[in-house]
Structure 1
Amino acid sequence: MAVDPPLVVQPLRRRSCAECRRGPLDMVVLEHGSAYCLDCADLGHLVFLPRGDAALTRRSREASSLWAVVVRHNRRRTRYERQGLLVEEAALARAEASCLADADARARRRAREAVRRAARDEEFAAAFAAEILRLFPYCPRARARAIAAHASLRGSGRVGRSAAGRALDEGAVTAAVRAAVRHLDTEYDALLMSGVPRNRARARVADAIARVLARWS
């Protein structure tokens, strides 16, 4: 049966070890409501590997007989987020050598994957633009392409990247068009900059948006 690895916390406030009293500590292990330093928690021989290199992290973890997950609490998101691992120094050295040996091959693979992702993104943006033109046949084609590119940008969190957006749901596509019109064809942004609350600003430009959408329909 798989066992969860030890959990190490990067504390947001000053903590001292409940056993040796050393502090303040950059990393602690929490046990029964008390904080312990890595040495007292028998993890002091491990070294910190920050997150960011997936291959190095995976290989270091596989080569290390003992490893721990390092997390830090994100107050804004109200959750703990992974910061990296603690691994054996020898395991990290072996992983670094292994990654260095096949660095060129991995770089070529990443380049191929980037090309494939770009092609898929381009196809999706074209499909999104086509759906805009189906719903709003009098929308200028260049404008439809611009709206689609903006809404479907990978990693943007915009409506085009939502599940509904990827499914080309009519409501999601319309929402993307409405947002574009709100920002580019009305005084909405200027109202926000002048201190008008968002809900009131939206109400003030609602008729202008409706007129543009009616013209495009």
Structure 2
Amino acid sequence: MQPVSKLERRVITAAEQALTHQHQVSLIDVLTGLGWVSHRQVEVWQQGRVPDLESLTAVSADRITDALEVFHRWVTSRGLRPSEVGYLSATRDRRPLRFTAAGRPEQELAFRTHWMPADLPERQRERLTAKQSKALDLVVVQPLKDFTCTGCGQTGADMLTMEDAGPLCLTCADLDHLVFLPAGNVALTRRAKKNSGLSAVVVRFSRSRRRHERQGLLVEQAAVEEAERECLSDEDARARRRERDRERREVADESFQQELAEAIARLFPGCPPARATAISRHTGVRGSGRVGRSAAGRALDPEAVTRAVVASIRHKDTDYDELLMSGVPREEARDRIRADIDLVLDRWRHQR
């Protein structure tokens, strides 16, 4: 009988602990259990901010291969059953995550495979596999300092998303139509997320705790209102709604919004008056960073007004948000719905 190496003991200990706590175990569980990659680094990888997980590990690829061989001998000896899990990034395109730099199929499969007890009920096995395969929430960051958007080149926005080219402001990421719902009311947050076709988790880095902490959600305005109606039986929800109404009144610039609605009506006489009013209210909120609050928007520049109308049509009259949530890249989604937008614009320009 060959003596058990130190690596073998450590791999088996990490695997046993993961299996006990989760009823399943993967190679990533082993690597985090060994301390070769941290949970924080795994989170960075899941957010799509690095090309592969291997680049974050503290050991060489050969060392990972050694651990994988020990791990496979252990799962065979335990009679565990494999289930392949899909890993998707928390980016707008929901692209598959890559585990290794080389990306060889057999290596990628080894990471994607989760191992479960043979006697685990099939329903529980399917539930665990579905949970692991579910794409993570989109993530929006409240930066600690100013950043320059790689899309429009502007500096100083309140929130950003990270893509391959770098940080994007919410306008360039097509998330500026969403409203911020602060964390604190679990029921309201849960219902708003459920009711919103498009949503994103907002986080902020804590220097003292050295981690990103959840601040709230970006969700559709209608989803918040529906969630508030569902929570009206709760006194806390009623108080929150009063507070939100007060905040809305404070940031509303009614005079400018009226002028913006009139400008929309001049450029697009076929636009329903109620819709023009809704567009002006949405894009004209102080501090929102939307088109209506830009210098051109405040000057009622026709191009800026048109951009505000196009943004509204994109989110309200096409299946653009559904395409994004299904993983279609932003530029491809825009190409698909461009003709639909042009039809609405043409109708609004010529109908009275």
TM-score (norm 1): 0.46
User: Rg: which structure is higher?
Assistant: 1
TM-score (norm 2): 0.29
